[in-house]
Amino acid sequence: MSRYRGPKLRITRRLGSLPGLTQKQSKKKDKPGQHGKNNSQTNKKTTEYGVRLEEKQKLKYNYGLTESQLYRYIKEARRRQGVTGLILLQLLEMRLDAICFSLGFAPTMANARQIVNHGHITVNGKTVDIPSFQCRVNDVIGVKPKLTSKTLVENNLKNLRFVDRPNHLKFDNTKLEGTITNYCDRNDILLELDELLVIEYYSRR
């Protein structure tokens, strides 16, 4: 399945708030689709599989991943020692586009992917144009020393929606640089998610 490029508010109405997908909020309260209003009124109970599927889709849409990409991250998280759910989130948060979003360089994950693709972002002084690039602790994420790149990022920083950046990132406003000091903490992740249900969803694969 290719990356989702359809209506974003339709997804947030179904799955709830997804900070990485869009910052906008829909005026409609009911779930989308022909039976969305009926299901909201009758409080129809979702099956266990349905609950796991929704949690998986939250992760996929928030980080802008394809199904195969997410499954690769699941396999990598299982392979490493530690709590699989937390490791999965840490792997996703260490993606270059996710770091750019957390630093405020872009308003959404899709915008962050675009500014990385267009070569506006540097890692340790070198231009990197791969959004899925896995950053490491002590990496310095900066903006290309070009007027268009700096103007683009500065405008995005002015419209920053969240107040505090995650504790594992240090930001220098004068240099437009962010330093990764550690792996992310579970409490710093903006997305409301039960990552264990995502692991359970893939447990039979």
Give per-residue pLDDT as tens, 128-147: 999 999 999 999 999 999 99
Residue 88, C-beta contacts closer than 8 angstroms, at least 6 positions apart: 73, 74, 77, 195, 198, 199
Mark whether 67 and 139 lie in a shared domain: no
Q: Look at residue 125 and tell me whether its pLDDT is greater than 60.
A: yes
pLDDT band at residue 164 under the 50/70/90 scheme: confident
Q: Residue 37: its pLDDT value, please? A: 56
Residue 3 belongs to a domain: no
Q: Look at residue 127 and tell me whether its pLDDT is greater than 90.
A: yes
Mark whether 19 and 85 lie in a shared domain: yes
Identify whether the C-beta of residue 95 lies closer than 8 Å to the C-beta of residue 105: no
- Which residue would you say has higher pLDDT here, 191 or 23? 191
User: Rounded distance, CA 43 to CA 36, Å?
Assistant: 11
Residue 59 belongs to a domain: yes
Q: Residue 1: its pLDDT value, please? A: 41
Block residue for tokens 């994420």? 141
Q: Residue 98: its pLDDT value, please? A: 92
Mark whether 196 and 161 lie in a shared domain: no
Mark whether 36 and 86 lie in a shared domain: yes
Mark whether 194 and 129 lie in a shared domain: no
Mark whether 111 and 126 lie in a shared domain: yes
CATH value at residue 150: 3.10.290.10
Per-residue pLDDT of 31-79, as tens digits, reads: 665 555 555 545 667 788 888 999 898 898 888 889 999 999 999 999 9
- Return the H-helix or E-strand segment holding 74: helix 67-79
Question: What pTM was estimated for this model as a whole?
Answer: 0.84
Residue 2 belongs to a domain: no
Share of the chain above pLDDT 90, in %: 45
User: Rounded distance, CA 30 to CA 99, Å?
Assistant: 33
Q: Residue 72: its pLDDT value, please? A: 94
Mean model confidence pLDDT for the chain? 84
Q: Residue 149: its pLDDT value, please? A: 92
Residue 155 belongs to a domain: yes
Domain count across the chain: 2
CATH value at residue 60: 1.10.1050.10
Residues 69-91 have a mean pLDDT of: 92
- Residues composing the chain: 205
By residue range, what is the domain housing residue 51? Answer: 8-90+190-201
User: Rounded distance, CA 119 to CA 50, Å?
Assistant: 39
